[in-house]
Structure 1
Amino acid sequence: MGHWVIVEEHVDRLRGVERFEGTREEARSRLYETACAHRFAEGLQQRRREVFRVDDDTYYVEIKGSLGKYRLRYYLAERVWSTEAP
C-alpha cells in the first residue's frame, strides 16, 4: 500500500485534488475517474471534455466551457518520504 496524491496542473498552478492510501492499481483507477469527472472550477459550464492518456500515471484534459477552453494535466504522485511516523 502506498500513500498517493492526485495532482491537478493548470497553467502554472499545482493543486492536490485528493490524498489516499492504496495500491498502484487503485491509484491509477482513481486518477482516471478524476480526469474524467473532476470539476476543476466552480461555476464552470462544461460543454465538452476530452481526456488523453499521456502515460499510466498522467492524463491531459481539455475542457470546453461557455467562456473558453481549459487545458489541465492530472497525475499521480506517490509519497516516498515523510517526517510523519509510520
Structure 2
Amino acid sequence: MAQWVVVEEFEDRLRPIERFEGTVVEARRRLYETACTHKFSEGLQQRRREVFRVHDDMYFVEVKGGLGTYRLRYWLAERVWGTEAAS
C-alpha cells in the first residue's frame, strides 16, 4: 500500500495534518473529509466554510470566522522515496 500525507497550506506555512497508508481512492476520500472538517486554528469561530476542488489531489478552502476570512489549500502527497524503509 502507498503511504500518504495530507498537507495544509496557509499563507507561507506548510503543515502535515495526517500520515496514513491506503489506496489512492482511500487517500482522496480522506483528503476531501479533511478539507471539509479540519479546524486549522483552535480559537477560530467558524461561521461559514466553502470547499472547492482544484483537482483530485487538492482543495481550496475559504473559512469565514469572526475576525476575518481565511484561505487555505489542502493537498495530498504520496511518498515516493525516503532514506529509511517505509514503516
TM-score tier (shorter): over 0.9
Rounded to whole Å, the distance in 1 between the matches of 2:85 and 2:57 is 27
Aligned length: 86
Map of 2:77 onto structure 1: 77
Matched, 1:4 2:4: yes
CA distance in 2, matches of 1:40, 1:80: 27
Q: TM-score, normalised by structure 1?
A: 0.98
**CA shift for structure 1 position 84:** 1.5
- Check if 1:49 corresponds to 2:49: yes
Cα displacement string for residues 11-54 of structure 1 (whole angstroms, at most 9, x for unaligned residues): 00000000000000000000000000000001100000000000
Give runs of aligned pairs for residues 9-48 of structure 1, distance below 5 A: 9-48=9-48
User: TM-score, normalising length from structure 2?
Assistant: 0.97
What SS does the corresponding residue of 2:80 show, helix, strand or coil?
coil
Query: RMSD of the alignment, in Å?
Result: 0.7
Distance (Å, rounded) in 1 between the aligned partners of 2:66 and 2:37: 17
Name the % identity. 74
**Structure 1: segments with no counterpart, 5+ residues:** none
